[in-house]
Amino acid sequence: MENKIYDWLMEKSDLAQGRMETRLFALMISFRATSAYWTLEDMLGLDGTEMKALMTRYFPHAMAEYPAPSCYKTHFHAAIKKPFICHCCGQAVSPAGTAKKVDIPLFSGFPTALNRQMEVDDLRDLLLSHRSSTAKEPVWLANMIAVGALGEDHLWQDLGLSGREDVSFILKTHFTDLFNKNTGDMKWKKFFYKQLCDLDEIKVCKAPSCSVCSHYSNCFGPEEAGQIAA
């Protein structure tokens, strides 16, 4: 699917930071940037300082044009000249790429994460307890994965990535010990929740939405057991 925000971010990126990481961050940011509701920071699980640091490191040329303080989503849509109405900041972007205030309902917070904050914290802490370095990337990724894992789809889809191999790359590179624990090649989202359940010595543990998922029987098997993956 065409994603002009992704293309624009890649044009504005600093590939010296790591081509694969740059691509993955661009995918996750552009995926959330299409939502008309909630701030981009909230949907990625990042605070303002973290978001600015990530953008400055990986997409410095985009930040050079960023009229801070402003809404990242309206800035992105203005840059690609795509009409957009944002309910997190109350601005509308015209086809010419100009933004102006409009009288629309405003929404704050990100209910998916706010209503399950303890779950987000547990997932983030699980990832960070296995971080492979003291760099900023594992912190950003842990937050983004923890919020993304609350979605209804498979994890790579919830994060806006191109396939399950992207999730595996992130974990193998930035959370190596956790990656290596998945000796049975279990689907990643289910593996995370199994790890949390093991920490609490819970023997029967289901990931979010398992009770309504027709693929439940596939979730706890190896990746090659079927085409359904998380």
Q: Would you say 55 and 63 are in contact if contact means Cβ atoms under 8 Å apart?
A: yes
* Alpha carbon distance 16, 223 (integer Å): 32
Residue identified by tokens 């309206």 is: 74
Averaged in consecutive runs of 10 residues, what is the pLDDT profile of the chain (230 residues)?
A: 86 87 97 94 95 94 79 94 94 92 91 91 95 96 96 92 95 96 87 86 51 46 44
Phi, psi of 127 (to 5 degrees): -65, -45
Which residue blocks in the chain are alpha helix, DSSP H?
4-11, 19-33, 40-44, 48-58, 60-64, 72-79, 111-114, 117-128, 136-148, 155-158, 164-174, 176-181, 188-199, 216-219
Q: What is the pLDDT of residue 198?
A: 81
Backbone Cα Rg of the chain: 18
Q: Would you say 230 and 213 are in contact if contact means Cβ atoms under 8 Å apart?
A: no
Amino acid at 25: F
Q: Would you say 86 and 79 are in contact if contact means Cβ atoms under 8 Å apart?
A: no
Angle between helical axes of 136-148 and 117-128 (0-180°, round to 10): 140
Structure tokens at 46: 């990042």
Q: Which residues pair with 92 in a beta bridge?
A: 85, 100
Q: What is the pLDDT of residue 208?
A: 54
55: nearest Cα among 114, 14, 90, 93: 14
